[in-house]
Amino acid sequence: MTSIDALRPDAALRTMLDAQTEAARAVGSALPGIEEAAHRMAETLRNGGTVVYAAAGSSGLMALADACELPGTFGIDPARVRIAMAGGIPTDARMPGHTEDDTAEAEAVAASMTPGDLLIAISASGTTPQALALTRAAQAKGIATVGVANTPGSALLAVADTAIALPTPPEVVEGSTRLGAGTAQKIALNMVSTLAGVLLGHVHDGMMVNLRPDNIKLRARAETIVARIAGVQPDAARTALEATAYDVKPAVLVALGHDPEDARRILDAHGQNLRQALQAETPKTRRA
């Protein structure tokens, strides 16, 4: 393959796009591991544990992106999600490389974890000292671990309880794992966390029924969700949301005639799964 710096700009861009597309395809072989990781994440969050993402460099940025979306998308308590990025989360464009070798920092993170938590360690090479040290230290405490790496057969995949191997092709810029490897990591992490949200009952008919509507756009989205599921007009949906402090799941039941306290009781009785609550409690009026 001709190096991208020897190509015309349009051809270089096509080469980059083709490489990214191929990297995305690499995720297909990891579906069993992704499913297993999603079940582990859902179980951890359902039981009150904490999910800890651990990575360095570009992999750390992929971890950060996924972790920070969980509260807004699925209503996950931010205290139940942590990001252990080697050297800390950057506050500017500097991201020192030597921090990935700091195993003492990794072991300190593991020391703060408890059985019932879940570690998701990400490393393109599968040999990053920080990710490996944290995985081993967590396992020594009986903590479940997920390893995500782009190098099949690497140490991280061998040691983790659940392995997600993403065999991406060589990078178009050699060694720059923010390209193909990062693309595959982001896709895989998105899939793990989204399926976990589904398993937790936070998705109903493809809608985010556990979102936290803390701005105008999301409040409007919450009103649309309640109106569609309950089969009511927007004004009625808004009234139901106001009665539940804009908590979407109980608001659906309120829109169907329950009072807020009863709506929360019903949801608790069905593990916060809205579909099950609707099927059990509102058979005549539900649209689900």
Compute the distance between CA of residue 285 and CA of residue 279 in angstroms, rounded to an integer.
10
The H or E element that residue 51 is part of is: strand 51-55
For 115-175, the three-class secondary structure string (H helix, E strand, C coil) is ECEEEEEEECCCCCHHHHHHHHHHHHCCCEEEEEECCCCCHHHHHCCEEEECCCCCCCCCC
Q: Is 43 one of the annotated active-site residues of the chain?
A: no
Beta pairing class for 203-204 and 51-55: unpaired
Identify the three-state secondary structure at position 288.
coil
> 169 vs 149, 202, 282, CA distance in Å?
13, 35, 51
Are 102 and 86 in contact, with CB atoms under 8 Å apart? yes
**Which two three-digit tokens encode residue 39?**
């079940």
Take residue 66 and report the two structure tokens written for it. Answer: 């996924």
Q: How many helices and strands, by DSSP H and E, does the chain display?
A: 12, 7
Residue 107 annotated as catalytic: no
Count of other CB atoms within 10 angstroms of residue 29: 13
Q: Which of 22, 43, 69, 107 is catalytic?
A: 69
Q: Which two tokens stand for residue 201?
A: 């009952």
Positions marked active-site: 69, 100
